[in-house]
Every structure is written in C-alpha cells, then in structure tokens.
Structure 1
C-alpha cells in the first residue's frame, strides 16, 4: 500500500513560571530542554472492512511509545511498526503517545475511516406495494442512490424509460409506455479498492393508466404538550407532487412541503387538512380533513405520559395496560388475564380495552385504569363508550356495569359513582357521560361488571376539565 505520511505536533511547553522561591536566574543560565521530534505515519486512512493499515513511528529522542487503535486489531502496541486490521466499518481514531528523553510528551492522532463492502441499493420517493412501485403513464420518477459503501460512479439502466440510461447519482426518469420494467444500477468505488457491484431489480416499475390520487398521511404522535411539534408524513397514493396543508392552531398554519413539521402552542383539539395532486394533472386531486391533534393543557390532568389510559385529556386508548389492576371485588383474585387491548373492537373500528367476564366464581369484578392526577380543583366531564357483547353462557341474565372515579383503588372505595349502564344492555354501544367536581388528588377510573357473561369493551375513556 502507498505510504502516506501524517506528522502532527502537539507541543507541550515547559515553563518555569513564578514560584514562591523564584527561578528567573536558573532560567537565564539554562536553555529549555529539547522536546524531541515526532515522526509517525500510516499507510492508509481510508480502508474497507477486513483491510489492514501499517503504522510506523520513527520519532527521535523517545523513551516510551504507546499506540492505541480504536476499532482495530490489535487494540494497543508499543512496537515502532504495527500492522492493524479493521474488521468493522466505522470511523475510528488511532493515537500514538510519545514520551521524550526531556520528560515531555506528545500525542499524534490519525483519523481512520473504514467503509463496508460496496452494495448498490435503489430508492424511490414513492410508496411501495408488495409488487413494486406503481405509477401513471407519463410520470417522472426520481431515483435515489441509497448504496452502501460510498460509491463514486453510477451506471443506471432504465428499461422502457426516457432516457434509457444515466450516470447521475440521483436521476429523474420518465415512463411513457404501459408495462412492467426492470431497473439496473451498477456502482463503482475507485477509492480505496476499485470494487464494482451491480443490482438488477426485476419489474420494479409498473406503469399503469392514470392512477387516481388518494390523499393520506400519518403523524409521529397525536397527543402533545403546548410548544411541542408533530412530524407529518404524506402517505398519499398516485405519486402526487403538490401538497397543500392547512394546520388549524398550528405554526405554521399552512405548508406545501411533502412532510412538514408543525408546532402547537395552545391546548385543544385541532383539524388537519391535506389536498394533494400531480402538478401535471391538477384536476386529479384528493383531499382529507380530519381531527388528528390533541394538545393537552399543562394544568389539567395527566402529569406523566399522555400515553396513560383514561388520563383525562384525550379519548384514545393505548396498548399498554401494564399498570391496570383487575381483581374480584373484595378479594385479591387476579383477573388480569381477562383484560386485554384490541386495536379493532372499539367504536368506529378504533381500539378498545376488552374485559372477558365469564361470571364463573366471581359474581362481581372491578378493575382500574392507570392513575391520573387532578392538579386544579374544578368541574370535570367524565365519559366513556361501553359495549356488552353477549357470550353463549349469558343465558338471558342481565348484564350491568358501573363506572366510578376512585382514589388510588384503595379498598374499592367509590368516591364518585359516575354512571350505571341499564340492566340487560346487550350488543350495542352506550355512552356514559357525567360532570363531577374534583379536588386536587390522584384518581383511578373503576369499572365494575357483574351478572351475565359478556365481552365488555371500553372505548374513548376521557376525563376533561370543563
């Protein structure tokens, strides 16, 4: 390998200084000690995993040397010449500490970069299906080089496209003919190893007649505190390239970015609107207007995570029921195996808490939500959607549920009995809704079920300050 010298000097200056006994006369009569001369080199600083580099120290007037090779093998050495092998890709530091006859020391550092094996990868700024990417005839496609190993040359071949080939790193290509087409990418890395690799993606592009645009998006979170931001990501179909966002209560209130980030400073529920289409076909647009963002007021409930079930500031449930408590009323019988979460059995197809009540050996079961905290006294509206799905063992018995606010589920004490579903409630949704004045404190929501066997669903649980 070609040897590349890298000499770095970090001078360590010895100063007599002003000490209590002084040393001006001594400094005048004695010349400063010679530090020594650092002369170290490394054969290559850019490698491929599995390659080695040779480190050489030719420094003069040294009494001690210590090499340290981060990420290398060996890790350390005191030899003047060391061959070090790097197995894993990454960026590392190799350092040489020198001690001279004068008593001074110096540190020489070499940055080492190790590349992984070259692997061509093709990316597209489109939504992918199981069979590849679907576009409309006449669409322009932006291809993205996502190759591993930092190639410096690209050779693209686009079957059925215009142009048919490109040497750009991220070319834009148009498809004007219906069909299914391959895409080939050959990448070359001249430095350090001159390797070449190629990948062929068979029938990667499916060119169809005009595909209708379908607006859709996702968010990284739906519940946040004032001053926090939400990342919106378009998941629209039909390869749109124009995005017109409106954010009620957000900063900014509008955006034309594909994936904008928006801050919300004030508590409340807010709608988000998205209209999207292709600039070449503006008549083929779609729009979506949905209530998506809840910003919780800091002086209301929920001092922990907004992911708490029944925490009061939102009507969404979480899959995490680890802090729920379920047991037979008046005993310590564990009923948690009967408690679960379903992402689909809630009202309007949303998620819900599910409790299987078989009625065997436990005529009454009470279970409790995760705890929430009221920080300011006031009137709070408690609400929940309830559903009793009858099971074969019901046998015509009436099914009853009571919903209460309790303090720390201590002794099953019901501080506020909020609502009782009508006896005989079967196979239909009921809405519990009541206003209570709550002083500051920590609470749980309790659900007490008894009588007929049923699969109870509890959805949209909320306690909100009025």
Structure 2
C-alpha cells in the first residue's frame, strides 16, 4: 500500500498574489500501480491528473472536478510514500488551458554601449518553465538563464534581442529590433598600464595604448605634445601621465604611463684600514652615490670572497700579499663598477725572539747595549734620551735618568708590530772627593784644597780654624784654598771645611763638610 497526499492551490494568473487552498486530501492509502507510478488517477477525489506535453512535468486538472477554471492557475503538490518507506515529493505549477501566459517585459542594464562592453538582461515573465534568449552579434549569443549576465558586444552596430519562453500549455516570443546600440570604441594596441625608466636628461617616446580620433595627455610637463598619439617625454622628475583616447563619440579608453627618472649609482668604497696583518680582518663601506638597489662585492684572497651587503664586515686575509677589491652597484637606471688593484696590503706577523720585558738597574753614567726582542723590518725606540740610535735593533744606552724604554718592531708600519718594554732604573751614587790633607809648599803636589770628581759644580768653599774663625771663603767653580789666611800663610794644623755644590745630574743643591790637615 502507498500513502498519498494531494494539495491543490489556486493562484491568480495576473500575478503572484497570496495563494488560495483549493483542496488537501490528507494521507490516503491507495493501491500502487507499478506500470504508471508518475500518472495516478484520483477519480474518487473528483480530480484527474494525467500527462499532457512533457510527461515528466506537466499535468492538467479536469474542470468538472474543480468547477470553473477559466482564468485561473493552480499549483498541484502530492507526496507518495511506498511500502519500503521511501518518500517521493512532486511540486508543479499548473496553468489551465484557458489561462493566458503573462509576460511583463525584457529589461537590460544599458541599451547603448561601447564596443567591447558587457551588459546584463532580465525578464518579468511569470511562471515559465524554459527560456531561450538570442543575442545576435554578442558573446555569448544565446542563453537559457532567466536573467543572463555578461553579454558582451565586440563590434559596433545595432543588434536585436529575442526571448522565447514557455510552460506546459503556452509558448511566447518577444523580439526587440535594433534594441542594443554598440558605438565605436578606441582600438586597443597596448597595455593600459605602462612603465618607462629614464636616466635624467634622456627622453622616450610614449606610444598610445589605443587608436582613436583624438588624444589628450596630462599633465603636459615634459611632453613634446599633448594631443598626439606618440609624444616625446623628457621629464626632470618621475611623473605619471594619463592618456584619454576618444573614438568620435562618448566611448573612450584611458591608460597610464609611469615614467621613472633617476641616475645610475656610482661605485666607491673605503676600508676601515687598508694595511693589515696575516689572519686579521677588515670591513668595507660604500662611499659612492646612489640610490643603490643591489651590491656585489668581490674580495680575491679574502674570506668570505663575496658579499651583497652595503657595508660588509669581517673580511679576513690569511696570507701576506696585496689584494684587489671589486664593487658592482646597480639600480633601476643602470650600474657601475670599481676595481682597485692592490687595495688591501697584508703583511706578515712579527714574532718575538726575546723577552717582552727586559729590566735594567744602572748607575748614573753607566752604559749598556739594549737588544731587540723581535726581528722585523723596522725598529722604533722611545724615548730617545740616552740612546745612541732610535731606529736600530741594538742601541747603546747611557744611563742618565730612570725611564721605561719601548721598542716597536714591525713589518708594515704600526699594523703588524711587536712591542717590548725596557724599564731602566738609574742610581745616583755620590762621586765627589775632597782630600783630608794638603801641603801648600809650591811643589806642584797637593798645593791647594778643593773638591774633585764628576757631576758637581762648586757653589762655595769655606775653611774654619779650630777657634771657629773663618780662614777662607771661596765662591764659584774655581774656589780652592791655597793655605793662606788674610794674605799670610796659615798655621799648620787641623781645619774644618764646609762645601756647597750642585749635583749636575739632578740639579739639586748639596752640602758636604769635614776636616782637612794643613801640612808644612
């Protein structure tokens, strides 16, 4: 047994007003006819459904079952549920053969277009089952949609539009002659967006992106003409031009031209230092002019040997020698390169052959030969005081003052050098002598009493007898007592002396006193 339900709804032919329920059978169990599952007869309901035209979609309603059906349209729905619990639902719009098909109109988004434009169509047809549009001269030229979109007309002219629509009982055709007017448009012959790169001072011809009857370029800055198809552009700065092409009517085409103006870069570079030692590293910096879009450095003999940075650092050279450097810079306007031969000088390291610190303790006036702590190409001693030479490997030092001497041994200026220290301490021993006796007897031996020795200058010499009186008072470097007092020979005996002198090594004033015996 099948479970069947049938509903009939009336709808006014003239428009989709609120439907009126005509009949609802509810669920009824009926015998299933396996030969005609889609075409069931419900005579006990006073309704007959049977095929007319398209068997899969169209049914009619017998007038005797529903009374007067002229001018009325019906929507018939029925549901069938079989013994296997499968459900089938069918819904149809049914138009009585006395009810005319109502069509409102054909509408289009624009009836006047330019060649190459696309438009959309729509219809107000009421309850048709199928649509057949025809668009001569368009792409696509047919459609089965109710509201076709993107119908394009590539060629100027006047074109008709035809719509054929139908349902179970009716078929109608609408044709609009010369409905779409397609106007001429500029003929494209290039891209709509263009870019040109110019070196400052150069020029370029700008070709129109389309062919038309008139041309309008803007802005006029740097253009040889503004109403021609191919002006010469020579702007002083980057400029974006707009071209409006007209084709003898309202149809136009617009294009843009970006003219980039600039200068190519100039390569230039400098290192942190151009002379280094073996296994040392150096950095480089760009000193040219830009702007620069890309850098390509090459360092033969260096590690790493290439770089793409603006200021590469840590380029190391493991072996002594002279090496070139190459830089290539580039931007949108061109490129430049700079190759400098023997730009980086790498010298051997200096290795110590002796102690780095060699101290000395000397008496004033002593001499000693200083030995270099390393072997190299050049020697530099400092300070120079007391040294026999300052650029030799083994100078002789005359000790005059305590000092710390420094030796720098190098193979390439101050870059590859070893430094050694020579601390020298100078002692100042007293080196002045006064005799303890003298005999002024004109024999040429010990005839006068004075100070003897080095590194002193006598300021004064005074002699006193045992009663405290002064027997002699001499001044200056020539002061010496000849054994007389007040012009007369002094008596033999013991006398006291007081000596003031300057130590010429230090410049300090010193004093010395003692006894001297005058012998006759």
TM-score, normalisation: structure 1: 0.25
Q: Which has the higher relative contact order, 1 or 2, with Cα contacts under 8 A spaced 6 or more apart? A: 1
TM-score, normalisation: structure 2: 0.23
